Amino acid sequence: MVRRRVLSLAAFVLAFGLGASVGWAEIRVVEPDKPETLPAFALSDHKGQPFTAERYKGHWSLTTIGFTSCPDVCPFVLSNIVEVISQMTLRVHPDKLPQVVFVGVDPGRDAPVMADYVAHFDPKFIGVTGPHEELAKLVTGIDGFYRIGKAKKDGDYEVQHSASVIVTGPDGQVHAKLSPPLDPGKVAEYLARKQIAYARAQRSN
């Protein structure tokens, strides 16, 4: 069991002195004691290209789990991430903007519409799906969860999935888990500071 510590923004206010105007607990971050390595998995992106753990290396990423026929939460979270990225453009170099990965855990319904789906939010977003056994590897690797419910009379079925947004670093490892709704400005600030701390740690190594 990996021991985790839960940090509310209040902890960052103390640590970084962001100022008194910052509200309590508006972003919730869970950071592992040590960055966690992603397991091997073989999925495909919305362009049909292989998507493996390698695709996480060399840049920061934000990953969220969902399904394309989710009417409320998934589009809400993705739009929320669009705002985070837009806030980050004010704080970091364009090369440092995180890659955004949407993991569709309902491959039958997700694969046919994935390209249009992610492009609707941002043409740079990456939509990923694949067989359940491969999805399970990535989802478990980011400490996530999903479950496909039984089909109802009309053929529709429920999909339950973790709510968090996973932050991975250029080392391809999991550095943090954010709980939506994400306050765009505060999350952008958190991520920018995370990048600075990471770069500093890399230099001193």
Partner 1 sequence: MTSNLYKTCLGCLTGTAMILSAQTVQACEAHAFLTTQTAEAKTASHQGPVMAMDAWVPVAPPGVKAHAAYLVLMNHGADLRAVTAVHSPQYASAAIHASQVKDGVNVMQHLAQVDLPAGSSVAFKPHGLHIMLMGPKKPMAQGDTVDLALTLDDGTTVAVKAEVRKRGAAAPMNHGHMGHDHKGS
Which region holds residue 28: left if phi is over 0, alpha if psi is between -120 and 50, else beta? beta
> Judged by CB under 8 A, how many residues of this single chain contact partner 1?
31
Token duo for residue 121: 């939010």
**Shortest distance, position 77 Cβ to partner 1, whole Å:** 8
Candidates 181, 192, 194, 198: give the one binding partner 1 (CB under 8 A): 181
Query: Hey, is 61 helix, strand or coil?
Result: strand
CB-nearer residue toward partner 1: 52 or 69: 69
Residue 191 within binding range of partner 1, rule CB under 8 A: no
Residue 161 within binding range of partner 1, rule CB under 8 A: yes
CB-nearer residue toward partner 1: 72 or 95: 72
**CA quadruple 22, 25, 31, 33: dihedral sign:** positive
**Shortest distance, position 133 Cβ to partner 1, whole Å:** 20
Specify burial of residue 175 (Cβ count, 10 A radius: 0-12, 13-18, 19+): buried
**Shortest distance, position 189 Cβ to partner 1, whole Å:** 17
Going by C-beta distance under 8 Å and a sequence separation of 6 or more, which residues neighbour residue 72?
none
Sites of contact with partner 1 (CB under 8 A):
66, 68-73, 75-76, 79, 83, 112-113, 116-121, 145, 154, 156, 158, 160-164, 179-181
